[in-house]
Amino acid sequence: MQTGAWLIAGLGNPGRGYALTRHNVGFRVAEDAAARCGVTLDQNKFKARFGTGRRGGRRIIIAQPMDYMNRSGPPLRQLADYYNIEISQILVIHDDLDIEKGQIKFKEKGGHGGHNGIKSIMEAFSSGGFPRLRIGIGRPAAPMDVTGWVLGKFTAEEQRFFGPVIESAGLSVLTMIDEGLPVAMNRFNQKQVL
């Protein structure tokens, strides 16, 4: 059995206007994982929306920073300090341009790869030593710029495509909590067949 509390953080931008954008896929996976764990995201503190629960005898906190993406770090730092959670026990879920659309990949630690949310978290903790769950959204076809792509809303076809991806990612979070990061990496770090 795994020990120690987990802080599960899905990244996105607050507000209804951003709800169905590619950049908010982290929010959606966090919501899926929360539903699977029976955690209600009904608390608001430290500029974050979050809920707490227990799974397998360990505490879990599932959160969505409610500042903009490029300021995700301070809310997560405050939550981690409040609940006394080590950086290695913070899973950050985020969109990734450099992974094929629909693919999910765990990563133990690393740099920010140009992702402003990850950059903010690294600055807040003075470290990149936190695991991530990256959700591939692919890159835009020219001439659309990257900002327009990530802040663009999913098309109806993409919505249908990403439904099973979000469910698989939510399930992968539970696998990580229950069986550990190496098991989750081995099971989910492969091309999604949809």
Q: Catalytic positions, please?
A: 23
- Rounded Cα distance, 31 and 29, in Å: 5
Question: What is the per-residue burial (b if ≥16 Cβ within 10 Å, else e) of 29-48?
Answer: bbbbbbebbebebeeeebbb
- Which residues share a beta bridge with 153? 21
Do 115 and 128 touch, CB atoms closer than 8 A? no
Residues 6 or more apart whose Cβ sits within 8 Å of residue 76: 7, 9, 48, 63, 65, 90, 92, 121, 124
- Rounded Cα distance, 33 and 121, in Å: 21
